[in-house]
Structure 1
Amino acid sequence: QNGLSDLQILSQDELKKLEPNLSKNIVAGLFAPNGGIVSPFELAIAQGENAKNNGAEIFCSSEVLSMEEKDSHILITTNRGKFLTKIVINCAGLHADSIARLLGDYSFTIKPRKGEEYLLDKRVGDLVNSTIFPLPTPTSKGILIIPTVHGNLMLGPTAEELDQRDDFSTTSLGFEQIYSFCTKMVNGLEKKDLIASFAGIRAASDRGDFIIEFSPTVSQLINVAGIESPGLTAAPYIGEMVKEMVRDKLASTGQKVEKKPDFNTVLPKKLRFSELSTEELKEAIAKDKRFAHIICRCEMVSEAEIVEAINNGARTLDGIKLRTRAGMGRCQGGFCTPKIIKILSRELNMPPSEITKRGNESFLVPYLAKELIERKEQ
């Protein structure tokens, strides 16, 4: 029905050959040999960098304050200025309904659903070779065991309906629920290997399905909302679909849309200290001595990589973390965070007290030690 012809129902013995650490309680399974994994944040960042390289402008930290129709255009007012556009693509996730309402569109409502996730040390990264799914539930694909592209295991998520949209907390109850469930599927999991916990909020909607459509009230507004799992898998095709919607809309008003003739689909390969051979390291260090200065020892991330990330748009600690993996190792930034703050401060010409973890007011260094000492002396 969905174009997949290679799915197989496997017996317990057949499953054990593929995944030796599966629990003996598992009697059969559905095997999808063409399934794969990707780093979602690296994919999104790469797409953004590619768009920028091809002429797109990206305005971060730009809160939309109001929108109004104006002479067959839409005027968007933000905290960083005004933008006049022919079409608005509303892909604001958790706040997609709020954005739509700015133009009088009440056709859908976002229903937040929180999922807690837990990351395990690379020591147990080879316990499974594939993503392990249970049977899905009406609200979720279930609690999974996911091997990441960087060699960790990720356990989760939960599925908790919320009223608020900013509750990213994790709980001991959530961890126990996930750990208890996962140990029934796979042997060898231990609590001592937990190195990080986090939560995400799915932007589910009251429609119960993807919303990819022109607004019923504003012809220049395209809503792309309620994109639940498998939203990441579907994202490339959703992009193609929305592109066709934009092209057809503009063509209907006599505006010609042409393909960019020199569009470059390839990003330059980034040098990663941890992936280079000895000879490649020597060559990299000869060109940039900052490659010889290791900032994150857990993930072997050099100063050169962190500076490159800043040059490509990183402005926060998390921005560096997601682009380079600095701070993602066993110590979770215990040693490298002060060094990264110092580099951000130097490269952005900002005092350390203005550096944030993830923007807004998530400040990391509210006071400098020197300032506190001076206050005490006074």
Structure 2
Amino acid sequence: MYDVCIIGAGVVGANIARELSRYQLNICVLDREDDVSCGCSKANSGIVHGGYSDKPGTLKAELCVKGNRMYAQLDEELHFGYREIGSYVLSFDQESLATLRRLFEQGQQNGVGGLELIDGEEMRRREPHVSAEVTGALYCAQAGVTSPYEFVIALMENAVANGVELKLRHEVRQLEKRSDHFLITTTQGTLSSRYVINAAGAHSDNIAAMAGLTDYQITPRRGQYLLLSKAQNYLANSVIFQVPTALGKGILVTPTYHGNLMLGPNAEEIDDKNDVSTDEETLRFIAQTARLSVPGFDMRQALTSFAGNRPVSNQKDWVIDASRLPDLINLIGIDSPGLTSSPAIALKVVTLLQDSGLHLEANPNFQAQRAPIIRPKSEDFQGTTTHSDPALHLICRCENVTEAEILDCFRRGLPVLSVDAVKRRTRAGMGLCQGTFCGPRVRALLAQELQMKEEDIPQRGHSSTLAERARKTQLKKL
């Protein structure tokens, strides 16, 4: 019997798990995927928003501002990567200037610090590569960038080190309320828990419906992105937004935490929650729209594209509620700024659990610190692709990832079951060659670690092995 079962190992579930690991509780986290952070948590902008975009008095506004201020301390403890680089919202005409003034006033109501309205000339002085058409901007000093999947990995590693059980490939099929506990049926069996936290992201409405709460509805809103090489990162020092629309914060241009340049996302409501495909027409639209802000980027430097689905609900605000069914906390429609707000959401959930009767006693063995996997290399680093020392043996030349870093990521308490899982932890495969050189070397190390054949090692998930892809290719030829 668990005290708390968290459904969903994204950024919200991972923050809750880590926060609850401060207490003497029996906790498990369930996720249907092969790794943590496989939903929207890995496929988003990685922006830590300031908090001026959301309507005052909403949960979004309250928790975004609180969560933003928690990132620096979390990064000191968990070393996932965070930089406060500031953000700008650009205007191009008188109507959008009025929108900037409204956002400025809204941010002040929400308690956002470091807000400033500037004219176009000052904007170009600060960011020399923005468009000559810019007439003004709203600056927010407290915005930043992070590596979202590394954040989730760090949170969950620390939670597991502090006693939380992580159960991957456990898709929830049934949730039944008994007198003093829930019976949770998954694809791997059945377990019991006194409290359940529904942090299932795009599938949170499905989990709620299993418990009889059928009035929640999630509509996936897909956002596609373009990632450019580090050679383009001189074009933006801060996050550069356009004036937001009814569908979201619009097309942005931003440096990533690791120094690439990223464009996107668009916003399109789709039917399939699992559809994270990209298409050439949309990517062309993203590039054209991004040029309105920063015209000078070179699309020949594009490395890859990706997409993520934001869980937009039919409710006016986020739902973080424990009142409708005793001992079940539903988190419904946690879309943007969910990444930013997630640490504060976790604190709110802990309070709701206490109010529901869960006794919290401090865990005397709680350890807040988690060592980084990625180690910065000094200028005199002597790594080679043939070195016998794992600390100097380069597996990924583009990102300077060593064998020692990859072996380290295997020994962190979380299952590492695919080539992409290694990529998310170490950046092996994220450089200019996109894994052409290091992919086979990572696969060989994984095969040795998992005692499997190399052709059976998945690229992404358990259905993406070389053998499975070869089989599908053969079937298409029949």
Fold similarity call, TM over 0.5: yes
**1:262 alignment partner in structure 2:** 365
d(CA) in 2 for partners of 1:303, 1:291:
6
In our comparison, the structure showing a higher alpha carbon Rg is: 1
**Cα shift at 1:278:** 6.1
Among candidates 152, 157, 160, match of residue 265 of structure 2? 157
Please give the alpha-carbon distance, in whole angstroms, between the structure 1 residues aligned to 2:231 and 2:397: 16
Runs (5+) with no aligned partner, structure 2: 1-108
Aligned to 2:329: 222
Check if 1:23 corresponds to 2:124.
Answer: no
Aligned residues of 1:156 and 1:178 also touching (Cα < 8 A): yes
Counterpart check, 1:130 vs 2:232: no
Compute the displacement of 1:360 (Å): 3.2
Match of 2:290 in 1: 182
**Alpha-carbon separation, structure 2, partners of 1:12 and 1:110:** 39
**Residue deviations 1:314-338, cap 9 Å, x none?**
2111110100000000111111111
Does structure 2 conserve the Cα–Cα contact (< 8 Å) formed by 1:100 and 1:223? yes
Aligned equivalents of 1:139 and 1:129: distance in 2? Answer: 26
Mapped partners of 1:269, 1:194: distance in 2: 28
Aligned pairs for 1:245-324 (under 5 A) are: 245-251=352-358, 256-270=359-373, 272=375, 275-277=376-378, 289-312=389-412, 313-324=415-426
Query: Does the aligned pair in 1 maintain the 2:171–2:186 contact within 8 Å?
Result: yes
Check whether the contact 2:113–2:141 (CA below 8 A) recurs between aligned residues: no
Deviation at 1:281, TM superposition (A): 6.9
2:275 to 156, 164, 167: 167
1:205 aligned to which of 313, 337, 341: 313
Q: Which moved more, 1:207-216 or 1:57-66?
A: 207-216
| CA 1:296–1:10: 2 relative to 1, 3 Å | same
Equivalent residues of 1:126, 1:151 under 8 A apart: no
Distance 1:92 1:142, change over 3 A: same
TM-score by structure 2 length? Answer: 0.72
Task: Give 1:318's aligned amino acid.
Answer: D
Equivalent-residue separation in structure 2 for 1:167 and 1:15 (angstroms)? 38
Q: Kindly, what percent of the aligned residue pairs are identical?
A: 39
For each residue in 1:128-149, what CA deviation from the matched residue of structure 2 results, as whole angstroms up to 9, or x when unmatched? Answer: 1000000000111101111101
SS at match of 2:266: coil
Shift of 1:366: 3.8
Instruction: Tell me if structure 2 keeps the 8 A contact 1:352–1:365.
Output: no
Residue 292 of structure 1: how far off its partner (Å) = 2.0
Looking at structure 1, the residues matched to 278 and 247 of structure 2 have their Cα atoms a distance apart, in angstroms, of 19
Cα deviation, 1:343-377, whole Å, max 9, x if unaligned, reads 11110111223211222312234489xxx9xxxxx
Q: Distance between the aligned counterparts of 1:61 and 1:157, measured in 2?
A: 29
1:240 to 342, 347, 366: 347
Q: Give distance in 2, aligned partners of 1:187 and 1:137.
A: 21
Structure 1 residue runs without a partner (length 5+)? 373-378
Q: Aligned pairs, how many?
A: 360
Partner residue in 2 for 1:376: none
Question: Where in structure 2 are the equivalents of 1:103-122 lying within 5 Å?
Answer: 103-122=211-230
Match runs of 1:63-142 below 5 Å: 63-142=171-250
Letter of the structure 1 residue corresponding to residue 378 of structure 2: S
CA–CA distance in structure 1, aligned partners of residues 351 and 146 of structure 2: 26
Structure 1 counterpart SS, 2:444: helix
Partners of 2:111 and 2:449 in 1: CA distance = 50
SS of structure 2 residue aligned to 1:202: strand
Question: Which amino acid is 1:132 matched to?
Answer: I
Contact kept in structure 2, 1:353 and 1:367, CA below 8 Å: no
Q: Deviations over 1:5-60 (max 9, x none)?
A: 42111011111121000100001000111211111111111000110111111111
State the match for 2:34 in structure 1.
none
Relative distance call for 1:343 and 1:175 in structure 2 (3 A) is same
Assess if the C-alpha contact under 8 Å between 1:296 and 1:326 holds in 2.
yes
Note if contact 1:105-1:215 (Cα within 8 Å) is conserved in structure 2: no
C-alpha distance in structure 1 between counterparts of 2:407 and 2:399, whole Å: 16
Give how far 1:265 is off: 1.2
- Amino acid in structure 2 at the alignment position of 1:260: N
User: Which amino acid in structure 2 is aligned with residue 276 of structure 1?
Assistant: K
Distance 1:168 1:271 in 2: 27
Is residue 40 from structure 1 mapped to residue 148 from structure 2 by the alignment? Answer: yes
Kindly state the Cα deviation for residue 81 of structure 1 after the two structures are TM-superposed: 2.5
Residue number in structure 2 paired with 1:57: 165
Q: State the AA in 2 paired with 1:266.
A: Q
Deviates more, 1:303-312 or 1:342-351: 303-312
Partners of 1:132 and 1:20 lie apart in 2 by 12
Distance 1:209 1:154 in 2: 28
Measure the CA separation in 2 of the matches of 1:364 and 1:204. 35
Q: What amino acid does structure 1 have at the position aligned with 2:347?
A: E
Q: 2:377 is matched by which residue type in structure 1? A: L
Amino acid across the alignment from 1:199: A
Letter in 2 for 1:22: V
Q: Which residue pairs with 1:4 in the alignment?
A: 112
How far apart are 1:241 and its partner, in Å?
0.2
Cα offset, 1:271, TM superposition: 5.3
